[in-house]
Structure formats: structure tokens, C-alpha cells
Structure 1
């Protein structure tokens, strides 16, 4: 334990907690920022410092912090039925109402809902249900998933295998399930010189088709993707991408699993990323903003075709041998229903569109021409700035991430929480943010950016 942290909550943290997505030795030296409370778009640490939460926690607090209606919804449900399960023909009213609501608001072919506790569990469940369905229809060799490099689909063994980020694989012995990773659809980084977005999309669709044919269509179970890639660096797809990818999947009987753990419930200024990009999924995965992360909850929605195959197979076997103790938890589902009420009543999807346009415009106006900024990108209330050592050549810094970490640290000093994904700086504020608050957030970030880059000589 660091001597710099005597007799404090920070010191106790360092003594007892192992932190997610953190350099453990660096954490021993610097300790945590202990967040004590939140209100609206702001959080406060245990020393009274205030921060604009520019990442909505982990891409997830749609209605902001300190929303009393969600606390009251949880309390009411805790008093009435604090827990029950969904095994063996049992159910509860909040789960039934939420399932009905989700079917009503998501793409038309999705007819059944399975609840889990996290996005990682939900993507694990999607994998298992796809395998179960393919076995049920006699396609026993259809086991391989196709995902993208740079994708994030979770952190458990199966969902972590789908994730296309090296740090989530290295020394965890992943991937462990049959998965093939194809090119990340990030035009700025991976398009050929002079290649248009449409041509890049065509090349990626051709790559997908070649991958399917090389493996054998009879072995490929599903293609999984985020409509807009989030935790890998906020990467919107190129023009025409999803239409071309869907066409290939349909041609070879490859199911389409869409991961909207980050995109869902208004983040892009539409109800779902599927709406924004014109995607018709066979399986849809939701989490994070479903409860504004006030409670752990995720949902897997499946088409009627998949449900019928699963239902027949469960009758043949005698059961669907999958489920979680806290799946369809009545308190989590009650909070989700209230959270979705708030999103609807306050017009937060439209707010994400309107204020998101302001965020995207201001980020580009303020930073796009900076010599250390290669690209500003995003849709709605999710965005990123990519830092580069050489703007013309798009050359990355060496080592990657050192400058991003400096910007991340400086942002804390200036009172704004952002996320450094290597040298990509991500923004994803709560859906309640106003244009004035966006300007305040970017003012703080600009000071942090100037502080972290002072003295650097761009190429």
C-alpha cells in the first residue's frame, strides 16, 4: 500500500480492491478517485471535488445521477417483492411488463425476451441460444461466430472471445470459442488511400463473404456487431456498410446478432442503432441505459423463428437448460420500466439528437483542425477525438496511449471525466445534457487538452 495514502478511503481501496480495466501497479501508486455522490450530469468525490461525467459512468447513465424516481421505483418494488426468479414457470409483473414493452419498441421480427444481469452475460446467452437453435434445426456444424477487430462485446470467456481488442485477450487464453475476426469498419484508419466509404463497405462485405466461403457456410452460425462501435474507439460504420453486411448474412443463412449495449435507448438520437442504420436483426442485445445502470440488467431479444426452434427443442429435451439466479429480477425490471418512462416523458431520445448535433458540431469546430487531432467522429451523444503524432500520415504516437492517459489525467484536474481508449478520447454524456452543459464540458476538456499537449511538437 502506498505511503501517499495513509488512513484514508483511498488507502483502504488500494489495500482490498482489485480494479477492472486498470494497471494494478499504477493503482497502488496513485490510488482511486472515490466518487461519493452524483446529481444530474455531475458526480462528486469524497473530497468535495465536482466533475462533469462526460462518459455517463460507463456509457450508461441516460437519465443522469440522483434521479429520485428510480430510487423510489426500486424501494416500492423492494417492499412488495424484493426478489424472485424466472425458473420453472415462475414470473413477476415488472419483468412481464418490461418484456412486453421491449418487444413493442424494438425491430418488428423480435418477439421474445430473455433477461440477464449484464451485457457480457447477454452476449454469452446470445451465443448459447444461437448454438441451441442451430442444433435444434439439425445444423450441428454451425458454431462459428464472425466478429470485428476493434469490437467490444463483453468480458466473460465467451463474450470476451467475440471482443476484438488484444488487451481483453492477452494472457486470458482467449478467444476460446470458434470465432473469426474480420476488418474493423473504421474508414479513417483502415480504408485504402482514396477509397470512398461506399467502396470500403463493399470491400468489407466481400471480405465477410470470402471468410464465410473459406470456412464453409455450413459452419458459420452468426455475425455479431455493434451498430456504431463503442468501447473500441467510437467508430461509426462507413456509408452502406450495414446494408451490404446484411445481404451477405442472408445469402448464407448466417444469423445477425446486433449488440446495442451502448447504442440502445437513444444514444444515437434514435431509439436504437438499428433504427439509425436500417438493421433488421435476428438477435438484439440490450443493457446499460435500460436502467441507466441504477440496477444491473440486460436483455436478449430473439426472432419468432429462433424462439420456435428453441421452444421445440426444450420440449424434446424437457427443459431449456440456461438461466441466472437474478435474471428478470423484479427490482431491476421495475427500475427499467421507470427509467424508460423518464426517457419517453422527457423526450431524451430527441434531446440526444438535437444536443448531439451540437456536441458533434462543437467538437469538430474546436478540435478538428488541431495538428495533434487526426479525426473527430461520432453520432448523437457519443463521440471521439483520435490523437495522432503526424496528422498528414495518420501516424500514431509511440507508445500508443501515453498521450491519451495524460489527457485523461488532466481532464480530472479540470473537472471532467472522459475515457482514453489508447489515444482515442471518448465522450458519452448522459442523455439529459443540455447544449450549455456540453459547452461547459468542452471548455473544461479544452483546458485539459492544452495542459496535456503543452510542449509537444506535432509533425
Structure 2
């Protein structure tokens, strides 16, 4: 199919409200033309001008099985021809939905019972909040409603999920966060540790801060704690040693539910099927999306643990029907896509590939970047990683934000054929390539990144900055 690039660009500029885009700069052309993405294969995409890019971020951490998987397209097509849509209200179902739900309950960590479906991670976390409130209402604890998240945690950008997200730019000018959402400290050892403090002690201190926050608010008012096994948008930051064990001890002490946000880490990215399995987390509720369908179709899930579901079922005679749902909950095409994706994940052992190739990726990142004078930390797990840049690595001094070092390196990488993300809250270059990435493709990613970092270092020297 041949398209008129100029016409499509004009239509887009005049009619699309783009997420996370400087609206005036885009409207006036300052940002240039929109990137029209036409095709994808494996870990690469191609734009309308024929430029090929390695997608080092798998879309938005989501195209885990890579682009161009025809078996998923065929599964979607078969279901669309057979039955394009029916709702799941009032005990209606489809075979694909029942098979997927049984599969998820059995494969998920912890003791899970049921799956509620939506279309995005944001709406799934909105559902999780309602489940926490419903659960505590049914068990006679109507005040136990506050939800604690973490600074730099990311849980979506709808009203409640956006409140749970711990980054101020998601809140500014949007009247967020809501008052029933609280935030505790980010578990980032590099920036948060006291001088000489071991990781384990840092983790215990973060747990003690959470304990203090719950005591201060009153344990009878706190319903849940939500956290990503590995911080994603907040900087691709794995937890420090002992962190999740210490946090879970506090939650158990205060009868606070644990919501594990596995939207990014679920289905293999850490090298385990779920991040909870990787870090020994026993969740009460699990949020999944992204890798569930590898983004071939919008689908999310709130997986409900036995402990919570038993209360919901026991209260049904008293309160009636479970009054929550969306038109597209359990969409049959989404379920068919998810089953096809999970077939690939299991058949090709993508968690194993993320573990093996991811280990190689982590070693190559550290070997290439860890000793550079502008690199403070190289971190990651499986096929997700980050390089954090600083002006003075010995004294841990950040660059002046006006220099936009992370954004410049990201652009330099893109100019050389690699999409790597400039992460918020610092000068950070983030990676989350598809889980089908090979060691040879890791070498390409690292080589292009090295060239991009070197180019920006040279620019900084020419500008008179000491590095």
C-alpha cells in the first residue's frame, strides 16, 4: 500500500491529540513531521520514508514477541470471522476467554482465583482500586480504603491509576493525586542510600518508612499497597536486596493487600514468567496488560487472589451482582490474541531467552558503559536496562536539567537507527527490547548506544563542560 506521506502528516497534525506531546510545538511544526510507522518485523520497525529502526523499547515495553508474527494475526482473523464480539456480562463467555482465564489463574504467582478483563494497564489498576474498596466494604472495614504507592512508581494515567503513579508531571494541572492515595519512598539504592549504608539496611529503612506511614495514617484506614516488581517508567530500577521481603512483612502486619503491577514485568521480561516469581513476591492481586497480547490487541487483566475472591463471593447474597464492567471486558478477539501470544511465549521459552540473552545484555551494558566518566549507574534485569548519566560520578552530582543529556543521547541513538528511551526524573537511557532479541542484536543495540553516548560526550566537551 502506497500512502501520501504529506497528506497523512497533515491529517494527523490537524486531528490527532497525541499523548505526551508538546501540543503547540507539534501544531506549529517545531517538532517536525509525525513519524508514520508502516511495518515491523522482529525487533525492527520501518517508517513511511523507508527508514529502519531497531525498537529497543518494544513499543512501550509491550511488543514482547516481536513484530510481524503472522500466527497471532491469523488467530485474530479466525476469531473475527467466527465471532467478532460478545460481552461477558451476566455469565456470558467464549471458548477463548474461558481457556485464557484458566491459563492465567494457573500460571500466575500466588494463589489466584479469577480474572477481570479491561483494555489497558490503567483501567486494570482502576479496577484493582475498586476491588480493594469493595473487599473491605464486604468484610465490614469501610474505612480501610487508602492505597499506598511509591514515588516514581508507574501505574497508569487515568484518574485513580494516575493518582497511584508517583511522578508529579502526571499530576500537574490534572487535579491529581486523589487524597486517598499516599506515596512512600522510591527503592532506588543508588540515589537513596545513606553514605556507607548496605543494600539490606537501605531496604529495611524503606520498609520502616512504610510501617511509619501506615501507623501514622492508622492501619484501619489503609487498604492496599501497589508496586511494580521492578520500577519501569520511574527509571527501570530493580529492587535492592531484601526489599520485597521487608515490605511484605509490613503489609502482613497491618492486614494490607499487595497489588503487584506486572504490566511491564509479566510474561517473561525479567527472565521469569512473572516478576513476582523472580523476587519472591506473594501478591493478593496482580495487574497484567502489555505482554499479555504483545500489544497485538488491547487487553488487560486484574487477576484476583483466592483471599480476596472468597470475600466477594461470600458477600454476593447480601449485596447482589458484582457491579463493575466494561463493554469490552473479555473481548473475544483480545482473548484469542492473548492465547496465541502465550503459545509463543511458552513454545519459544521467551522467559528463558530473556534470562540468557538478558544476562548477556546486562554484562555488555556494564562492560561498555560502567566506567565512563558521565555514567553513574548501569542497572537492569533480564531484557530491561538503564544507563544513568551524571555530571560527577564520584560525588553523584546530576547534570543541569537544561542540558537535557539523556534526551540528547536518546536522539543521537535514534539518528543512528536505535529507539532507546530518555526516561523521566534524570538523565537516563532506557532499554526494553522484545523478548525475541538475540545476542547479535544486543551487540547492535550496545554498539549504537556507545556511538550515541560518545557523540554527546564530545558535544559536551565542545560546549566547555568538564567530563
Q: TM-score range by the shorter chain?
A: over 0.9
Instruction: Provide the rounded CA distance (Å) in 2 between the counterparts of 1:136 and 1:70.
Output: 41
Q: Partners in 1 of 2:238 and 2:102 — Cα distance? A: 30
1:432 is matched with: 436
> Map of 1:198-217 to 2, 5 A cutoff?
198-217=200-219
TM norm structure 1: 0.97
Superposed, which structure 2 residues align to 1:127-142 within 5 Å? Answer: 127-142=129-144
Match of 1:452 in 2: 456
> Does the CA contact (< 8 Å) of 2:271 and 2:383 recur in 1?
yes
Partner in structure 2 of residue 21 of structure 1? 20
After TM superposition, the structure 1 stretch with the greater mean CA deviation from structure 2, 391-400 or 432-441, is 391-400
Q: 2:409 aligns with which of 403, 407, 410?
A: 407
CA positional deviation for 1:401: 7.1
Aligned partners of 1:86, 1:99: CA distance in 2, in Å? Answer: 12
Q: 1:216-270 CA distances to partner (integer Å, 9 max, x unpaired)?
A: 0000001110000001110111100000000000011000110000000000000
Cα distance change of structure 1 residues 262 and 6 upon mapping to structure 2, 3 Å threshold: closer
Deviates more, 1:168-177 or 1:46-55: 168-177
Of the structure 1 ranges 141-150 and 387-396, higher mean CA displacement relative to structure 2 is found in: 387-396
CA distance in 2, matches of 1:6, 1:34: 8
C-alpha displacement at 1:13, in angstroms?
A: 2.0
Are 1:103 and 2:102 counterparts?
Answer: no
2:110 touches 2:283 (CA, 8 Å); kept in 1? no
1:13–1:31 CA contact under 8 A, matched in 2: no
Q: Write the distance in 1 (CA, Å) between the matches of 2:364 and 2:22.
A: 33
3-state DSSP of counterpart to 2:6: coil
The structural deviation recorded for 1:8 is 4.2
Partner residue in 2 for 1:89: 91
CA distance in 2, matches of 1:7, 1:152: 36
2:380 to 375, 378, 381: 378
Provide TM-score, normalisation by structure 2: 0.95
Q: Which runs of no fewer than 5 residues in structure 1 stay unpaired?
A: none
Distance 2:313 2:368 in 1: 54
Kept after mapping to 1: 8 A contact 2:43/2:437 = yes
CA distance 1:234–1:14, change in 2 (3 Å): same
1:143: which partner in 2?
A: 145
- Structure 2 counterparts to residues 3-402 of structure 1, below 5 A: 7-27=6-26, 28-29=29-30, 30-399=32-401, 402=404
Cα distance change of structure 1 residues 382 and 257 upon mapping to structure 2, 3 Å threshold: same
- Contact 1:123 1:154 survives alignment (8 Å): yes
Pairwise CA distance, 1:400:
5.9
Cα-to-partner distance string for 1:351-399 (whole Å, 9 max, x where unaligned):
0000000110000111111111110000000000011111112211222
1:31 deviation in Å?
Answer: 2.7
Structure 1 position 88, deviation (Å): 1.2
Distance in 2 between the 1:105 and 1:111 partners? 11
CA 1:25–1:371 in 2, change beyond 3 Å: closer, same or farther? farther
The unaligned stretches of length 5 or more in structure 2 are none
Q: Determine the C-alpha separation between the residues in 1 that align with 2:434 and 2:120.
A: 19
- CA spacing shift, 1:401–1:38, aligned 2, 3 Å: farther
CA contact (8 A) 2:5 2:48 kept: no
CA contact (8 A) 1:158 1:177 kept: no
Q: Give the whole-Å Cα distance in 1 for the aligned partners of 2:234 and 2:135.
A: 30
Query: Measured at CA, do residues 237 and 400 of structure 1 come closer, stay the same or move farther in structure 2, by a change above 3 Å?
Result: farther
- SS of structure 1 residue aligned to 2:267: coil
SS at match of 1:88: helix
Question: How many Å separate the matches in 2 of 1:306 and 1:223?
Answer: 14
- Aligned to 1:62, the other structure's residue is in SS state coil
Distance of 1:313 and 1:172 partners within structure 2: 36
1:458 Cα deviation (Å)?
3.8
| Equivalent-residue separation in structure 2 for 1:252 and 1:226 (angstroms) | 20
TM-aligned CA deviation for residue 25 of structure 1: 2.8
Distance 1:98 1:400 in 2: 48
Q: Which residue of 2 aligns with 1:443?
A: 447
Distance 1:326 1:170, change over 3 A: same
- Distance in 2 (CA, whole Å) between partners of 1:36 and 1:53 is 13
- Inter-partner Cα distance in structure 2 for 1:357 and 1:46: 34
Question: For the Cα contact (< 8 Å) 2:199–2:241, is it kept in 1?
Answer: yes
2:251/2:257 contact within 8 Å kept: yes
Aligned residues: 455
